[in-house]
Amino acid sequence: MKKAIPINLLLFVLFISTSIKAQVGINNTDPKSILDISASSITAPSNTDGILIPRVNDFPAVNPGSDQNGMMIFLQNSVGTQSKGFYYWDHPNSRWFSVGAEEWQPGTNSSGDDLIYATRAKLSGTDVVITNDGRIGFGTEDPVERFEFKGPGDNDFQLTSANTNPPNVIVYNTGGTLESPGPLAANGEIGSFIAKTHDGNRVREVGGVRFYMDGVATNGSTPSRFVINTTPTGSTSQIERFIIRNDGNVGLGTPNPTEVLDVNGAARIRDLNAGPVYSDVNGNLSNNGPAIIASGKVAHDGTALKITGATVTRNRTGNYSITFSTSRDHSNYIIQLAYLECSGTGADCQGDNSINISYSGQTNSGFDVGIGSNDNGGTARVPRDREFMFTVIDF
């Protein structure tokens, strides 16, 4: 039979007990802590031996304060992602935490896949999940790949170490099964690093770095090749741009390089001046040897019949200016001149064969050409228009 204890009597007992020992015992006379509650029977407890703390159907609408740090409640039903159970208030984090519950809880994503999720990450709005088929997602509840990071901001992946054995990223593929591995098929792909983007319609693979077997793997021989792919404008199909074969030959634009460097297409070296390229005894490339800077064939009236590296202007009878397309850094280049040898009265054959040709006014930007005849019975040269050729060499 239950009896009600007058509240004033209970308070008096608690006051006396607290004043004497600062400890309270319920169902015992020798409390071992501030509050010590004993069951009605240790060996055969009744179905009411226990403590009931406040039972609620939802969390308080207003968060508790610092004075309630550690306060407990019992949630009688699931609320959102919070399962039924005991919770305590963690004021420094301003959150209710489940008592004794595991960090990982079962759930279902939007695709209907069963999964487990990290409860604390879920509360902060960041999904960390493992699906029932073994996919792991960070920032997504529905990972597409085996291991997927997803987020709107910084998604860098960093491996940090402080050891003589540095961190590595390892890709491993095998024939057979994981339990019974064997060689890959001939030229099989070992692994790759893939780049994808959205084209406005769908996600597409646009390039990558790939590793393949370069033949067949056998005991003591594992030939491999390295390939870089890109996608050209107007296409969605990737093309092998760069390849290193098992023999060390490098191919640009060709999948089967036959030399150490095999380029399928034109090549350009931008830090050399115009002119032939030479290799010294150490294999260094340069164009410090003789190089043609400018050359041309000029008609009597100054018309450039064929010219490169310069322009030509007829100043007056028998006088022409050659101007380089690009000024030189000095004026000590070599000039070679020749005129058309002929006789007659044609426009390109003025005068006679006592013609001479010379240059003057040599500067960084060009020079002048003079043509004249000395076969006039006097000492002064008579200017003549005559077809001529010039070549400028520098080194």
Question: What are the two backbone dihedrals, phi and then psi, of residue 203, each rounded to the nearest 5 degrees?
Answer: -80, 130
State the chain's mean pLDDT as an integer. 85
Residues 377 and 313 in one domain: yes
Residues 297 and 389 in one domain: yes
Residues 372 and 338 in one domain: yes
Residue 283 lies in a domain: no
Tens digit of pLDDT for each residue in 203-212? 999 999 999 9
Residue 69 lies in a domain: yes
Tens digit of pLDDT for each residue in 120-155? 555 555 677 888 888 888 878 888 888 888 877 777
Q: What's the pLDDT at 1?
A: 46
Residue 345 lies in a domain: yes
Residue 176 lies in a domain: no
Residue 165 lies in a domain: no
Residues 389 and 302 in one domain: yes
Tally of structural domains, the chain: 4
**338 or 104: which leads in pLDDT:** 338
Residues 77 and 126 in one domain: no
- Pick from 189, 362, 227: nearest CA to 370: 362
- Pick from 323, 305, 340, 300: nearest CA to 392: 323
Composition of the chain by helix, strand, coil, percent to 5: 5, 40, 55
- pLDDT at 19 > cutoff 70: no
β partners of residue 89:
96
Residues 226 and 300 in one domain: no
Residues 224 and 257 in one domain: yes
The domain boundary residue, chosen from 217, 248, 263: 263
| Residue 308 belongs to domain with CATH number | 2.60.40
Q: What is the largest CA-CA distance in the chain?
A: 158
Q: Which of 54-63, 196-205, 207-216, 275-284 has the lowest mean pLDDT?
A: 275-284
Residues 67 and 118 in one domain: no
Domain of residue 297: give its range: 291-394
Q: Which of 86-95, 270-279, 353-362, 377-386 has the lowest mean pLDDT?
A: 270-279
Residue 154 lies in a domain: no
Residue 10 lies in a domain: no
Question: What are the two backbone dihedrals, phi and then psi, of residue 123, each rounded to the nearest 5 degrees?
Answer: -65, -35
Tens digit of pLDDT for each residue in 348-359? 565 566 788 999
Residues 304 and 372 in one domain: yes
Residues 254 and 295 in one domain: no
Q: What's the pLDDT at 35?
A: 86
- pLDDT at 188 > cutoff 60: yes
> What would the two tokens of residue 4 be?
């009600």
- CB 123 within 8 Å of CB 95: yes
The domain boundary residue, chosen from 84, 114, 129: 84
Most confident of 8-12, 21-25, 34-38: 34-38
Residues 74 and 109 in one domain: no
Residues 325 and 233 in one domain: no
Residue 207 lies in a domain: yes
The domain boundary residue, chosen from 263, 281, 315: 263
